[in-house]
Amino acid sequence: MIFLASQSPRRRELLAQIGVAFDILDVDVPEQRLPGEPASDYVSRVAREKAGAGLLLVAERAGALVIGADTEVVLDDDVFGKPADAADAVQMLTRLSGRTHQVISVVWLLGAGHEARAVCESSVRFASLSSVQIADYVATGECFGKAGGYAIQGRAAAFIEHLSGSHSSVMGLPLYETARLLRSATGSR
């Protein structure tokens, strides 16, 4: 049985999109970057902690595999998590405006005697945005609960000048990499 250690509706939709049958596990993992921790290490650690917390919940289930994932927006070595409020979202989007940032997604798949990881890094270039465009976008509320304060699958798609990498990864779950991890673990094609 496959479990997704995430409350993200986007991750649920993406995993269902590729035909994976799974159950949801509610885990609470602090998402705090340690001093001096490289951004990629931070994203990997959080994803692994989510998978590990989920595995503890289903450890007695034979054959249980738990997916833990984390996605973060990184600019100038600053990790942009989810905005705390509208002012935080405005600040994030203002910094992203007219610049290229990285989106790092890491997926861990854990089970009894099984541990595998996949990393997907994408580059996203935002158009230059006016303060009015940013304020109007933040007013929609779409920015909340999203790393970097934007949803590439929503209205913010109009801000993206260029994407080099994985669209699904920027949404929160790199599907190619996740499918590869699952095939490797289950021996399916």
| Catalytic residue list | 70
* Pairing mode of beta strands 2-4, 160-164: unpaired
**Token pair for residue 164?**
């080099």
